[in-house]
Protein backbone atom coordinates (compact mmCIF):
# COMPACT_ATOMS: atom_id res chain seq x y z
CA UNK A 1 0.00 0.00 0.00
CA UNK A 2 2.92 2.37 0.56
CA UNK A 3 4.43 2.18 -2.92
CA UNK A 4 2.14 4.49 -4.88
CA UNK A 5 -0.85 6.77 -4.32
CA UNK A 6 -3.84 4.99 -5.90
CA UNK A 7 -5.88 8.21 -5.70
CA UNK A 8 -3.44 10.27 -7.75
CA UNK A 9 -4.87 11.50 -11.07
CA UNK A 10 -8.37 10.30 -10.16
CA UNK A 11 -10.82 12.35 -12.25
CA UNK A 12 -13.24 12.96 -9.36
CA UNK A 13 -10.62 14.21 -6.90
CA UNK A 14 -8.53 17.33 -6.61
CA UNK A 15 -4.81 16.90 -5.96
CA UNK A 16 -5.32 17.87 -2.31
CA UNK A 17 -8.16 15.38 -1.87
CA UNK A 18 -6.08 12.62 -3.45
CA UNK A 19 -3.15 13.37 -1.15
CA UNK A 20 -5.42 13.47 1.89
CA UNK A 21 -7.00 10.12 1.03
CA UNK A 22 -3.52 8.68 0.51
CA UNK A 23 -2.46 9.91 3.95
CA UNK A 24 -5.58 8.34 5.48
CA UNK A 25 -4.84 5.06 3.70
CA UNK A 26 -1.28 5.06 5.05
CA UNK A 27 -2.50 5.90 8.55
CA UNK A 28 -5.04 3.08 8.32
CA UNK A 29 -2.28 0.63 7.37
CA UNK A 30 -0.11 1.79 10.27
CA UNK A 31 -3.03 1.25 12.66
CA UNK A 32 -3.64 -2.24 11.26
CA UNK A 33 0.06 -3.04 11.75
CA UNK A 34 -0.12 -1.71 15.30
CA UNK A 35 -3.15 -3.90 16.07
CA UNK A 36 -1.31 -6.97 14.77
CA UNK A 37 1.75 -6.16 16.88
CA UNK A 38 -0.23 -5.50 20.07
CA UNK A 39 -2.22 -8.71 19.62
CA UNK A 40 1.01 -10.60 19.16
CA UNK A 41 2.47 -9.09 22.33
CA UNK A 42 -0.65 -9.77 24.35
CA UNK A 43 -0.82 -13.42 23.25
CA UNK A 44 2.86 -14.19 23.81
CA UNK A 45 4.64 -11.81 26.17
CA UNK A 46 8.15 -10.82 25.24
CA UNK A 47 10.53 -12.69 27.55
CA UNK A 48 13.12 -9.90 27.38
CA UNK A 49 10.61 -7.34 28.61
CA UNK A 50 9.43 -9.70 31.34
CA UNK A 51 13.02 -10.20 32.56
CA UNK A 52 13.60 -6.45 32.60
CA UNK A 53 10.35 -5.89 34.50
CA UNK A 54 11.34 -8.52 37.07
CA UNK A 55 14.67 -6.76 37.63
CA UNK A 56 12.85 -3.45 37.99
CA UNK A 57 10.38 -5.03 40.41
CA UNK A 58 13.23 -6.27 42.63
CA UNK A 59 14.89 -2.85 42.57
CA UNK A 60 11.62 -1.15 43.47
CA UNK A 61 11.18 -3.61 46.33
CA UNK A 62 14.63 -2.67 47.59
CA UNK A 63 13.83 1.05 47.28
CA UNK A 64 10.58 0.53 49.20
CA UNK A 65 12.39 -1.37 51.95
CA UNK A 66 15.04 1.36 52.26
CA UNK A 67 12.35 4.04 52.26
CA UNK A 68 10.45 2.28 55.05
CA UNK A 69 13.66 1.92 57.06
CA UNK A 70 14.41 5.62 56.58
CA UNK A 71 10.92 6.65 57.65
CA UNK A 72 11.14 4.34 60.66
CA UNK A 73 14.53 5.85 61.54
CA UNK A 74 13.16 9.41 61.34
CA UNK A 75 10.07 8.55 63.40
CA UNK A 76 12.17 6.71 65.94
CA UNK A 77 14.60 9.64 66.17
CA UNK A 78 11.75 12.12 66.65
CA UNK A 79 10.24 9.92 69.35
CA UNK A 80 13.63 9.71 71.09
CA UNK A 81 14.15 13.50 70.80
CA UNK A 82 10.69 14.21 72.20
CA UNK A 83 11.35 12.11 75.30
CA UNK A 84 14.76 13.67 76.00
Residue by residue, pLDDT tens for the chain (84 residues) are 578 999 999 999 999 999 999 999 999 999 999 999 888 878 877 788 889 999 999 999 999 998 888 888 888 887 777 766
Please tell me the pTM assigned to this model. Answer: 0.51
Model pLDDT, residue 1: 58
At CA 47, angle to CA 46 and CA 51, rounded to 5?
125
**Residue 21 burial by CB count (10 A; 0-12/13-18/19+): exposed, middle or buried?**
middle
Model pLDDT, residue 77: 80
Model pLDDT, residue 84: 63
Model pLDDT, residue 16: 93
Do 42 and 34 contact (CB within 8 A), yes or no?
A: no
Model pLDDT, residue 43: 80
Amino acid sequence: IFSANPYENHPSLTQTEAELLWEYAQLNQHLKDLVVQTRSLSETPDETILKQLRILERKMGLVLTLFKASVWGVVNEQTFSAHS
